Structure 1
């Protein structure tokens, strides 16, 4: 039963993240963007079975591949999200069409890895998926914060009184 509950929790987190991603979201400067990914990582590491003990070496290779896909997906997600300052100086983000392709590609790669691991007899549980999700969210948050700092450096910081606009690749 705990495995079923884990899967439901993962699905709920993914749905919440995806729904929020495709609507404009205000980004705060409170520097707590890493809290949710951190909690998810701790939860995933507390669960037994992150690595299949019967095939430890192969399972670690698949886990590393999963985490590499998560890293690339998070970086691409953060890079393809539109980022802009509102008229009041607040920072906003929203995923676009490119973000949909990033999500679809990441899911396809993860499904392929899961299928390949199953074919060679490696048992994976929700801990690996939760770990990968936490890495994806952490990298996305880090990329967005890095881009926000660049936006501040180019346009005079968060208190700048310019009209709302997007810059460079961030134009709509």
Structure 2
């Protein structure tokens, strides 16, 4: 994929996530929350230019820091997200103002890393940014799924097989 297509994918995913984060959304811990990060990782790793051939050590260091920033942003985003459960047992989440601050700091750090790499002369491909975004989404989704599982209502228990079936009422014997 070309760098322009990668950049458009990154911008589209980021806009979608930022727009959706302030609406309440239901968390389903059973769904495949790891699928989008896995797809983004595959797209990022398919490109051969993830490391600069002229500066392999510096580009690997920048990539490692990019991944750490992505993981930290995902963790900060997940822990600043409000999570609650309804009486019916469904778990919901919505990002807070602190989540927006985490996003702003994460984007600022990524811009700073790009500037640092440019100043040092390291060619940076969009694959590193895409890989960092995948790490952000993976950590955030994993933490939210874990938090959702811990919020099951206290009164709900899993019954035995057939507990939900309707049984005919028998006659009372006096």
User: What does the per-residue CA deviation read over 1:3-62, in whole Å, with 9 as the maximum and x for residues that have no partner?
Assistant: 112111110010001111111111113241000000000110001111111100110000
User: What does the per-residue CA deviation read over 1:58-97, in whole Å, with 9 as the maximum and x for residues that have no partner?
Assistant: 1000000000001110000000000011232211110010
- The structure with the greater share of residues assigned to helix is 1
Q: In 2, are the aligned partners of 1:37 and 1:137 still within 8 Å (CA)?
A: yes
Q: Whose Rg is larger?
A: 2
Say if 1:50 and 1:78 are closer, same or farther in 2 by CA, change over 3 A.
same
> What SS class does the counterpart of residue 122 from structure 1 fall into?
coil
Distance in 1, Cα, partners of 2:64 & 2:144: 24
User: What does the per-residue CA deviation read over 1:100-147, in whole Å, with 9 as the maximum and x for residues that have no partner?
Assistant: 100000001111011000100001111000000000000001111121
Say if 1:157 and 1:115 are closer, same or farther in 2 by CA, change over 3 A.
farther
Of 105-114 and 27-36, deviating more is: 27-36
Aligned to 1:156: 154
> How many residues end up aligned between the 2 structures?
158
Q: In 2, are the aligned partners of 1:151 and 1:157 still within 8 Å (CA)?
A: no
Aligned to 1:5: 5
Shift of 1:151: 2.1
Q: In 2, are the aligned partners of 1:41 and 1:130 still within 8 Å (CA)?
A: yes
Asked if 1:130 corresponds to 2:130, the answer is yes
Q: Which structure 1 residue ranges, 5 or more long, are not aligned?
A: 161-172
Q: Would you identify which runs of 4 or more consecutive aligned residues in structure 1 move more than 3 Å?
A: 157-160
Aligned to 1:47: 47
Q: Which structure 2 residue ranges, 5 or more long, are not aligned?
A: 159-174
Which TM-score applies when normalising by structure 2? 0.86
Aligned to 2:146: 146
Query: Considering only aligned residues, what root-mean-square deviation do their CA atoms show, in Å?
Result: 1.7
Asked if 1:121 corresponds to 2:127, the answer is no
Aligned to 1:16: 16
Aligned to 1:92: 92
Which TM-score applies when normalising by structure 1? 0.87
Distance in 2, Cα, partners of 1:81 & 1:97: 9
Aligned to 1:168: none
Distance in 1, Cα, partners of 2:56 & 2:122: 9
